[in-house]
C-alpha cells in the first residue's frame, strides 16, 4: 500500500467515526496516590511533595484549550486515586470538570477510590456532584495479602468505606479485587468471593495479579525474591471466580468484570465496543475520529507542555480501516456479547471474513471461540483470551 493510499484510508476512518459518532465519553486522570503500590504500572505517583494545584490548573487549561465533549455519554474519573486529595480540593476539581459539560443526572459518572482515602465528607462531596458509581479498590479481605500488595489500607477500612458509600447514597458501588497473589490459597479466594457477594455490591472486578515490567514486583520476581503462584492454582481461582459469581447472579460480561444485568460499567463497555473517548490529564489516551492520541506521562512535562501548547499530546496514531476493524474484533471478543462481524464490515467497509477466516477456523477448531451470529469466546477461551487476541493482530 502506498503512503498516499494509506492517507486516504486513514481519513476514511476519521470520516466514518465522525459520521457515526455519538459524543465521545470523557475520562479524566488524577495521577496521585497515597503510596505507589509495588505491582502497579498505571501512571500514578506518591502524592507527598507533588504540586497538586499546579497539576489541576494544567488540567483545567488542557480541558479549555482542547475542548471537552459537552454531552459525554459517560464520565470516568480514574487514576491514581482521585479521592486522595482533601475534600475541598476534590470538590474544586469536580466542579472544574462538571462546569464544562452539560448537566445530566442520568449519565453514568464513575470515580475510583481507595478505601483508606475515603471519609464521609468526601462521599458527600461525590454524592452532591452527581457521582453515580464508586469503584472501590478493595483488593483483598485478608490483611496479610493487603500487606504483600503494599496497600496502605486494612480489611476493616473496606467495610467502613463501603458502608459510608451506601449510607451516603452513592447509587452503585463496584469492588475491585486481585487474586493469584503470592501465597494466596484457593480457600482464601473462595472466602473473599463469598464475603464480597454477601455485601451485595452492584459490580465486581476480579483481576489476576500481573507482574508488569518496570514495577517493583517484576524486579523482585526476576531476582528470585518473589514467586508467582502455581499456574494450575491460578486457573482454579479463575474458574472459581466465574462459578461463584455466576451462581450469585453476577454475570461475567468481560474477562475480569461481573455484574447483574443492567449494572455493567457503561464507560468500560464503550472502550470494548470501540466507541470514541476523550482523555484529559497526564498519560491520558483519547480515541477520536479514528485517531489515538496519547498525552505526556510525566507530571512536570505534562504541565509544561499544556502551558506552552495548550495540550500535552506526544503521540498520534491514525488507524487504517483494517487497524480499526481489527481493534473492534479484539476488543469485542473480550466481552460476553462478542462481536458481530457484519457490524464491523458495515462500519469500516471491509470484509473481516476475508481478513480473519483462517484464524477464525483455527480457533473454532480448537474450541476457543464460537462463530454463530456473533464471534464469541468459548468456555475454554476465556482464560486464554490474551493469546486469542494476539491471533487477530
Ligand atoms: C488504576 S487502579 C485504580 C484504583 C485505585 N487506585 C486502587 O488501587 O484501588 C485500577 C485497578 O487495577 C487493578 N490492578 C492494578 N495493577 C494490577 C496488577 N499488576 N495486577 C492485577 N490488577 C491490577 C487493581 O485491582 C486496581 O483496583
Ligand atoms: S494500584 Fe491504585 S493506589 Fe496503588 S499505585 Fe496504582 S493507582 Fe495508586
196-221 confidence digits (pLDDT tens)? 999 999 999 999 999 999 999 999 99
264 and 377 share one domain: no
160 and 254 share one domain: yes
Among protein residues, the one with the nearest Cα to ligand 2's atom 7 is 80
- The domain boundary residue, chosen from 209, 238, 272: 272
Whose atoms come closest to the Cα of 207: which ligand? 1
265 and 327 share one domain: no
1 pLDDT band (50/70/90 cuts)?
Answer: very low
Q: Can you tell me the distance from the alpha carbon of 330 to that of 391, in angstroms, rounded to the nearest whole number?
A: 9
Among the atoms of ligand 2, which is closest to the Cα of residue 33? 8
Which pLDDT tens digit goes with each residue over 358-371?
999 999 999 999 99
Is 214 exposed, middle or buried, given 0-12, 13-18 or 19+ CB atoms closer than 10 A? Answer: exposed
**pLDDT of 345 above 70:** yes
Question: Residue 285 domain-assigned?
Answer: no
Among protein residues, the one with the nearest Cα to ligand 1's atom 10 is 137
114 and 204 share one domain: yes
Lowest mean pLDDT among 146-150, 230-234, 384-388: 384-388
Which pLDDT tens digit goes with each residue over 243-270?
999 999 999 999 999 999 999 999 999 9
Question: Residue 278 domain-assigned?
Answer: no
Quote the mean pLDDT of the chain: 94
| Tally of CA atoms within 13 A in the half-sphere of 353 that contains its CB | 6
**pLDDT of 7 above 90:** no
Q: Can you tell me the distance from the alpha carbon of 77 to that of 95, in angstroms, rounded to the nearest whole number?
A: 13
- The domain boundary residue, chosen from 272, 292, 312: 272
Which pLDDT tens digit goes with each residue over 156-199?
999 999 999 999 999 999 999 999 999 999 999 999 999 999 99
Question: Residue 279 domain-assigned?
Answer: no
Question: Residue 179 domain-assigned?
Answer: yes
20 pLDDT band (50/70/90 cuts)?
Answer: low
Question: CB within 8 A of 253, min separation 6: which ones?
Answer: 259, 264, 269, 335, 336, 337
Closest C-alpha among 133, 109, 61, 121 to residue 85? 121
**pLDDT of 336 above 80:** yes
Supply the pLDDT for residue 373.
86
93 and 222 share one domain: yes
Supply the pLDDT for residue 3.
34
| Ligand 1 centre distance from Cα of residue 40 (Å) | 7
Supply the pLDDT for residue 6.
46
Supply the pLDDT for residue 365.
96
**pLDDT of 31 above 90:** yes
95 and 186 share one domain: yes
Strands 108-113 and 285-288: unpaired
343 preceded by a cis bond (ω within 30 of 0): no
| Ligand 2 centre distance from Cα of residue 151 (Å) | 9
CB of residue 80 inside a 6 A radius of ligand 2? yes
Residue 23: which CATH number? 3.80.30.20
CB of residue 81 inside a 6 A radius of ligand 2? yes
Report if pTM > 0.75: yes
β partners of residue 75: 26, 109
237 and 351 share one domain: no
Determine which helix (DSSP H) or strand (DSSP E) holds 109, and give its type and residue range.
strand 108-113
Question: Residue 69 domain-assigned?
Answer: yes
- The domain boundary residue, chosen from 203, 238, 272: 272
| Ligand 2 centre distance from Cα of residue 89 (Å) | 19
207 and 120 share one domain: yes
CB of residue 79 inside a 6 A radius of ligand 2? yes
214 and 352 share one domain: no
Domain housing 382:
321-393
Question: Residue 290 domain-assigned?
Answer: no
Which pLDDT tens digit goes with each residue over 62-76?
999 999 999 999 999
Which pLDDT tens digit goes with each residue over 132-157?
999 999 999 999 999 999 999 999 99
Please give the angle made by the CA atoms of 136, 275 and 265, to the nearest 5 degrees.
Answer: 25
DSSP 154-203: -HHHHHHHHHHHHHTT-SEEEEEEEE--TT--HHHHHHHHHHHHHT--SE
258 and 333 share one domain: no
| Ligand 2 centre distance from Cα of residue 146 (Å) | 13
Question: Residue 292 domain-assigned?
Answer: no
Residue 237 CA to chain centroid, in angstroms? 21
Q: Can you tell me the distance from the alpha carbon of 88 to that of 148, in angstroms, rounded to the nearest whole number?
A: 33
> Which triple of cell numbers denotes residue 66?
482542547
234 and 377 share one domain: no
23 and 139 share one domain: yes
Q: How many of the other CB atoms lie within 10 Å of CB of 159?
A: 15
- Domain total for the chain? 2
Question: Residue 241 domain-assigned?
Answer: yes
Amino acid at each position: 500500500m502506498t503512503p498516499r493510499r494509506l492517507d486516504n484510508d486513514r481519513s476514511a476512518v476519521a470520516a466514518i467515526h465522525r459520521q457515526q459518532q455519538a459524543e465521545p465519553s470523557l475520562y479524566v486522570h488524577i495521577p496521585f496516590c497515597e503510596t505507589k503500590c509495588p505491582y502497579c504500572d498505571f501512571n500514578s505517583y506518591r502524592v507527598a511533595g507533588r504540586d497538586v494545584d499546579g497539576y489541576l490548573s494544567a488540567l483545567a487549561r488542557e480541558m479549555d484549550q482542547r475542548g471537552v465533549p459537552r454531552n459525554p455519554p459517560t464520565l470516568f474519573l480514574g487514576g491514581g486515586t482521585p479521592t486522595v486529595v482533601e475534600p475541598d480540593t476534590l470538590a474544586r476539581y469536580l466542579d472544574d470538570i462538571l462546569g464544562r459539560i452539560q448537566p445530566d443526572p442520568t449519565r453514568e459518572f464513575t470515580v475510583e477510590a481507595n478505601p483508606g482515602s475515603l471519609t464521609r465528607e468526601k462521599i458527600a462531596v461525590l454524592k452532591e456532584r452527581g457521582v453515580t458509581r464508586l469503584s472501590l479498590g478493595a483488593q483483598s479481605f485478608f490483611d496479610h495479602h493487603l500487606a504483600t500488595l503494599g496497600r496502605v489500607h486494612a480489611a476493616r477500612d473496606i467495610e467502613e468505606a463501603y458502608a459510608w458509600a451506601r449510607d451516603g447514597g452513592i447509587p452503585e458501588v463496584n469492588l475491585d479485587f486481585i487474586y493469584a497473589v503470592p501465597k494466596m490459597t484457593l480457600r482464601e479466594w473462595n472466602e473473599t468471593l463469598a464475603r464480597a457477594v454477601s455485601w451485595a455490591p452492584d459490580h465486581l472486578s476480579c483481576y489476576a495479579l500481573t507482574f508488569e515490567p518496570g514495577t517493583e514486583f517484576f524486579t523482585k520476581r526476576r531476582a528470585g525474591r518473589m514467586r508467582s503462584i502455581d499456574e494450575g492454582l491460578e486457573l482454579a481461582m479463575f474458574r472459581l471466580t466465574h462459578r461463584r459469581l455466576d451462581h450469585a447472579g453476577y454475570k461475567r460480561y468481560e474477562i475480569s468484570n461481573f455484574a447483574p444485568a443492567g449494572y455493567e460499567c457503561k464507560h468500560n463497555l464503550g472502550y470494548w465496543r470501540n466507541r470514541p473517548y476523550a482523555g484529559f490529564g497526564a498519560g491520558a489516551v483519547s480515541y477520536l475520529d479514528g485517531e489515538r492520541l496519547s498525552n505526556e506521562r510525566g507530571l512536570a512535562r505534562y504541565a509544561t507542555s499544556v502551558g506552552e501548547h495548550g495540550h500535552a499530546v506526544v503521540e498520534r496514531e491514525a488507524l487504517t480501516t483494517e487497524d480499526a476493524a481489527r481493534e473492534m474484533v479484539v476488543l469485542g471478543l473480550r466481552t460476553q456479547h462478542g462481536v458481530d462481524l457484519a457490524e464491523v464490515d458495515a462500519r469500516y467497509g471491509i470484509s473481516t471474513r476475508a481478513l480473519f477466516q483462517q484464524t477464525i477456523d483455527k480457533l473454532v477448531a480448537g474450541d476457543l471461540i464460537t462463530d454463530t451470529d456473533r464471534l464469541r469466546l468459548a468456555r475454554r477461551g476465556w482464560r486464554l483470551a490474551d493469546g486469542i487476541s494476539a491471533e487477530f493482530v
